[in-house]
């Protein structure tokens, strides 16, 4: 068995195309994706903050203080609105970024006019920061007006707070940083790792089964005096190792870049989160991955040996990704916990267990059941694969 | 001695509607099964070369695949030196060296690694493999390219390497399925020389071919298969006497059952 395994592994390592997909891509792709998304989203937010907004104010004379504040702050450019223009239509034609409609009875004495209702017309399709930028100008005025009114009514500062919010709700979240982030990251990790294990095994699998048929080496291999199940096991192990290697490299790459980003940008939460996960949990996550990889490898090898050509094999493997994605996506959905029915759905339960492990809230006894059931499925599939390899109908199709 | 008696093999037909016109008219098609090989018998003594002839689709490859244990016959028996291949396939696998015109090599391994891999599968020690490779590369002149990757080989180099691979374990019977089909004249000659060298060593060879010239030149015995039945099975002299002066006519006569 080891002879077959070593030889197959040697071939995989020498295949530049496979190596590219297995190592280089996850190593470089993730930083590029993560960095790219971070760069462009921060750039968009920055642009929205600093771009010059064209605006017009209806009834500016009613609120001279606010009008002056906007006019004098940087990044605002006043535009004269035509007399007969309909505000909605005018804003829609992109002549201005926003129109602020001040009511005629605007007053800075809240005791006289109750609440002032200002209307902000803007085109909300697309990313912008108009409201938040206006609020930073309006708030100081509103605060001052509020304080003056309270002062005239002889309300103390404590009473002011109580008047503004008679009943306040203070949140005390007992979940630590790890559980919080784990809920978000955990599902993602399982998703990425599963898909990569499958993807990483795919190209070698297509080569090891259908590739041998296509090249005409399979027949010679089958009639050599080595047990069929040893051939299957050797090939199976190669695919499994390829899948695990791909997943490991990716996860390590993600972790390293996560730490770098965390340290570099000094994001407290990420550092705390990564620091809280101990080696034991990481080892358990890896341990849970073994039967899953075995399931994938057995499936891939079965499909591959059935196919006549490399191309046909890849055709069969494409839909397999869809079958794997569904149970894993289920595990990332909020509200689906590792209990009841979900603890018995194959793949979903492993994904959920991985999430729990990352969150640090795993019931370790449950892990035994999940590992056991997944291992049984993997064993059955491997058995099927050996059976498949003994069928003339499959081998000489 | 190799003895094949009343060998038969049928394949299930998945969808009879998909068969070609020619296949549908084949008398071997009955119901859901295609009786590819119905009754093939032949014998080959030690040191003899047996040529297997027959039209395309006659059942030559299926017969040789059963002989090489890749396929399991439905009925009949194959004996190599008195041991039944059907009952003890492992013994046969150790005894047989198999090569076909379509046999490939692992392109990302070197020629030496390809040969050594099959040596390992045959349970040979590293030392025995190395000695045998040295010996074979002398005979087949492999030195110049043995340590290069097979992807870059010419057809002739590939065929020489494949030959070395098939005899790495010193087989007591060599089975060749259309070994010269698709090869250029030089590469084909390498194969024929190889068959000759086996003959000199007393190793029996069974090979299928469409080239009657090869049969006249090399073979001691001839077996003709048509529609899954052996219609001729005798010495090459008897075969030539079917139509003196023309091997082609002899072949056609054997098919017609004259």
Residue A216 forms contact with B (CB below 8 Å): yes
Shared-domain flag, residues A107 and A241: no
SS3 state of residue A106: coil
pLDDT tens-digit map of B64-115 = 999 988 889 999 999 998 889 888 888 888 999 998 877 789 989 999 999 9
**Which of A96-105, A171-180, B165-174 has the highest average model confidence (pLDDT)?**
B165-174
State yes or no: pLDDT of A236 exceeds 90: yes
Residue (of A102, A200, A168, A182) closest to A360 by Cα position: A182
Shared-domain flag, residues A58 and A198: no
Task: Answer yes or no: is A39 within a domain.
Answer: no
Which residue does chain B place closest to A392, by CA atoms? B71
Alpha carbon distances (Å) from B213 to A27, A298, B12, B148, B199: 59, 48, 36, 34, 17
Question: What integer is the mean pLDDT of B134-158?
Answer: 89
| Cβ atoms of residues B102 and B94 within 8 Å | no
Residue (of A244, A296, A343, A235) closest to A8 by Cα position: A235
Contacts of residue A395 in chain B, CB cutoff 8 Å?
A: 70
Shared-domain flag, residues A64 and A142: yes
Burial class (CB in 10 A: 0-12, 13-18, 19+), A393: exposed
Shared-domain flag, residues A387 and A252: yes
Task: Answer yes or no: is A282 within a domain.
Answer: yes
Residue B166 forms contact with A (CB below 8 Å): yes
The one-character DSSP state at B110 is B
Which CATH number fits the domain that encloses residue A122? Answer: 3.40.190
- The conformational region for residue A168 under phi > 0 = left, psi -120 to 50 = alpha, else beta, is beta
Chain A: give the shortest CA distance to residue B95, in Å. Answer: 9
Shared-domain flag, residues A362 and A268: yes
Task: Answer yes or no: is A43 within a domain.
Answer: no
Contacts of A271 (CB under 8 A, 6+ apart): A259, A262, A263
For A223, which of B93, B102, B120 is closest by C-beta distance?
Answer: B93
**Alpha helices per DSSP H over chain B:** 21-25, 60-67, 89-95, 111-121, 126-140, 155-166, 185-201, 212-218, 236-241, 247-256
| First CA to last CA distance, chain B | 28
pLDDT tens-digit map of B11-33 = 888 776 777 777 777 778 877 88
Chain A: give the shortest CA distance to residue B68, in Å. Answer: 7
Tokens of B250: 């002899």
Tokens of A60: 């500016």
Residue B226 forms contact with A (CB below 8 Å): no
Cα radius of gyration rounded to whole Å, chain B: 19
**Alpha helices per DSSP H over B26-180:** 60-67, 89-95, 111-121, 126-140, 155-166
Shared-domain flag, residues A210 and A185: yes
pLDDT of residue B17: 72
- Last-in-domain residue among A131, A164, A197: A164
Task: Answer yes or no: is A160 within a domain.
Answer: yes
Task: Answer yes or no: is A44 within a domain.
Answer: no
pLDDT of residue A267: 67
Shared-domain flag, residues A391 and A264: yes
SS3 state of residue B258: coil
Shared-domain flag, residues A15 and A104: no
Alpha carbon distances (Å) from A310 to A22, A196, A210, A305, A394: 18, 20, 5, 10, 15
Instruction: Name the residue ranges covered by the structural domains of chain B.
Output: 2-104+171-256
State yes or no: pLDDT of B40 exceeds 80: yes
State yes or no: pLDDT of B189 exceeds 80: yes
pLDDT of residue B258: 60
Question: What integer is the mean pLDDT of A312-327?
Answer: 90
For A216, which of B12, B102, B120 is closest by C-beta distance?
Answer: B102
Bridge partner residues of B51 (DSSP): B207, B222
Which residue does chain B place closest to A1, by CA atoms? B121
Query: Number of A:B CB contacts under 8 A?
Result: 70
Please provide the size of chain A in residues.
397
Question: Where residue A303 falls among pLDDT bands split at 50, 70, 90?
Answer: very high
Highest CATH level, class, for B2-104+171-256: alpha beta
Shared-domain flag, residues A136 and A184: no
- Last-in-domain residue among A164, A191, A210: A164
pLDDT of residue A266: 64
- Predicted complex ipTM: 0.88
Element (H, E) at A57: strand A53-58
Q: Hey, of A11, A12, A207, A223, which one would you mutate to test binding to chain B, going by the most B CBs within 10 A of its CB?
A: A223
Shared-domain flag, residues A188 and A287: yes
- Last-in-domain residue among A164, A188, A212: A164
Q: Could you give phi then psi for residue B100, rounded to 5 degrees?
A: -130, 165
Q: Rounded to whole angstroms, how far apart are CA atoms A396 and B15?
A: 17
Task: Answer yes or no: is A36 within a domain.
Answer: no
Per the prediction, chain B carries an average pLDDT of: 88
If one counts the domains in chain A, the total is: 2
Alpha carbon distances (Å) from A241 to A6, A180, A201, B236: 11, 33, 8, 54
Chain center to CA of B39: 18
Residue A151 forms contact with B (CB below 8 Å): no
Task: Answer yes or no: is A41 within a domain.
Answer: no
| Cβ atoms of residues A245 and A22 within 8 Å | yes
Domain that holds residue A78: 53-164
pLDDT of residue A363: 84
Instruction: Rounding to the nearest 10 degrees, give the CA dihedral for residues B49, B50, B54, B58.
Output: -120
Shared-domain flag, residues A132 and A200: no
Task: Answer yes or no: is A364 within a domain.
Answer: yes
Shared-domain flag, residues A152 and A228: no
Residues A224, B165: C-beta atoms closer than 8 Å: no
């Amino acid at each position: 068995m080891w002879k077959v395994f070593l030889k197959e592994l040697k071939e995989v390592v020498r295949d530049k195309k496979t190596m590219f997909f297995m190592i280089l891509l996850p190593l470089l792709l993730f930083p590029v994706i993560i960095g790219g998304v971070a760069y462009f989203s921060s750039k968009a937010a920055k642009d929205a903050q600093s771009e010059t907004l064209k605006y017009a104010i209806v009834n500016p004379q009613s609120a001279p203080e606010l009008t002056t504040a906007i006019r004098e702050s940087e990044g605002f450019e006043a535009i004269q609105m035509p007399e007969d223009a309909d505000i909605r239509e005018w804003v829609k034609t992109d002549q201005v970024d926003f129109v602020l409609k001040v009511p005629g009875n605007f007053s800075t004495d809240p005791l006289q006019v109750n609440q002032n209702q200002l209307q902000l017309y803007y085109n909300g399709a697309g990313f912008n920061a108009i409201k938040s930028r206006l609020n930073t100008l309006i708030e100081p005025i509103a605060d001052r007006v509020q304080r003056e009114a309270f002062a005239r009514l002889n309300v103390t500062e404590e009473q002011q707070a109580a008047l503004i919010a008679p009943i306040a709700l203070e949140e005390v979240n007992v979940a630590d940083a790890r559980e919080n982030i784990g809920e978000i990251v955990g599902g993602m990790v399982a998703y990425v790792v599963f898909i990569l294990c499958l993807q990483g095994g795919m190209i070698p699998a297509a080569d090891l089964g259908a590739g041998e048929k296509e090249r005409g080496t399979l027949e010679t291999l089958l009639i050599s005096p080595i047990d069929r199940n040893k051939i299957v096991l050797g090939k199976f192990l190669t695919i499994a190792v390829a899948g695990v290697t791909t997943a490991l490299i990716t996860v390590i790459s993600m972790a390293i870049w996560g730490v770098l980003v965390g340290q570099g940008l000094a994001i407290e939460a990420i550092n705390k989160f990564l620091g809280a996960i101990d080696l034991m949990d990481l080892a358990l996550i890896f341990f849970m991955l073994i039967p899953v990889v075995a399931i994938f490898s057995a499936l891939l090898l079965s499909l591959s040996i059935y196919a006549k050509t490399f191309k046909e094999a890849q055709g069969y493997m494409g839909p397999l990704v869809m079958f794997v994605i569904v149970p894993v996506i289920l595990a990332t959905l909020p509200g689906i916990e590792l209990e009841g029915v979900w603890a018995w759905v194959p793949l979903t339960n492993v994904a959920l267990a991985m999430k729990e492990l990352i969150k640090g809230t795993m019931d370790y006894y449950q892990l035994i059941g999940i590992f056991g059931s997944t291992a049984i499925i993997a064993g059955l599939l491997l058995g099927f694969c050996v059976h498949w390899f003994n069928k003339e109908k499959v081998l000489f199709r | 001695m190799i003895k094949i008696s009343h060998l038969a093999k049928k394949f299930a037909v998945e969808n009879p509607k998909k068969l070609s016109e020619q296949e549908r008219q084949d008398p071997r098609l009955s119901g859901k099964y295609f009786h590819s090989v119905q009754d093939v018998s032949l014998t080959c003594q030690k040191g003899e070369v047996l040529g297997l002839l027959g039209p395309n689709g006659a059942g030559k490859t299926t017969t040789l695949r059963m002989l090489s244990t890749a396929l399991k016959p439905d009925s009949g028996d194959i004996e190599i030196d008195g041991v039944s291949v059907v009952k003890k396939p492992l013994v046969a696998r150790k005894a047989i060296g198999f090569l076909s015109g379509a046999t490939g090599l692992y392109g990302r391994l070197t020629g030496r690694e390809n040969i050594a891999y099959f040596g390992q599968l045959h349970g040979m020690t590293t030392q025995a493999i190395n000695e045998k490779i040295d010996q074979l590369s002398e005979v087949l002149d492999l030195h110049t390219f043995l340590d290069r990757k097979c992807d870059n080989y010419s057809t002739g180099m590939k065929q020489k390497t494949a030959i070395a691979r098939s005899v790495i374990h010193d087989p007591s019977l060599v089975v060749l399925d259309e070994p010269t089909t698709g090869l250029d004249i030089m590469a084909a000659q390498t194969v024929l020389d190889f068959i000759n060298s086996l003959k000199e060593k007393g190793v029996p060879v069974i090979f299928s071919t469409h080239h009657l010239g090869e049969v006249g030149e090399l073979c001691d015995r001839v077996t003709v298969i048509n529609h899954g039945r052996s219609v001729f099975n005798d010495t090459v002299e008897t075969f030539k006497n079917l139509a003196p002066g023309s091997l082609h006519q002899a072949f056609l006569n054997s098919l017609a059952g004259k």
